[in-house]
Amino acid sequence: MDLKYGDQVREMQGVIVEVTDGSVAIDFKGRLGYLKIPNRMIISDYPMKVGQEVGLYMTYVEVLSDKVNEKYISNIEKRKEGNSNE
């Protein structure tokens, strides 16, 4: 992967807003967004609970190409069709 911009790592903090068997959802402080990640991506010495504060390092997202990955588009459409039948 050839990124145009070097690492511009930023420290971010947030609050856990949802905990499920397989994932954790985080609202970032400063109205910077929401992120849902698998539990295996969390480093913690404690059981995860709604309201706990978290911290992470993040950099900016860079679009790699103007091309669309048709495989992903197809999977998204199939998922939408499956949900509309319910």
Q: Is residue 25 part of a domain?
A: yes
Helices marked H in the chain — which ranges? 70-84
Predicted confidence at residue 53, as pLDDT, reads 97
**pLDDT tens digits for 5-48?**
777 888 999 999 999 999 999 999 998 899 999 999 999 999 99
Predicted confidence at residue 23, as pLDDT, reads 97
Predicted confidence at residue 15, as pLDDT, reads 98
**pLDDT tens digits for 39-86?**
999 999 999 999 999 999 988 888 888 999 899 999 988 888 877 765
> Between vectors from CA 76 to CA 72 and to CA 78, what angle results, nearest 5°?
115
CATH number, domain of 48, equals: 2.40.50.140
Q: Are 57 and 9 in contact (CB under 8 A)?
A: yes
Predicted confidence at residue 13, as pLDDT, reads 97
Range of the domain at 52: 9-61
Q: Is residue 67 part of a domain?
A: no
- Kindly state the DSSP code that residue 14 receives in the 8-state scheme: E
Domain count, the chain: 1
Q: Is residue 46 part of a domain?
A: yes
pTM, rounded to two decimals: 0.73
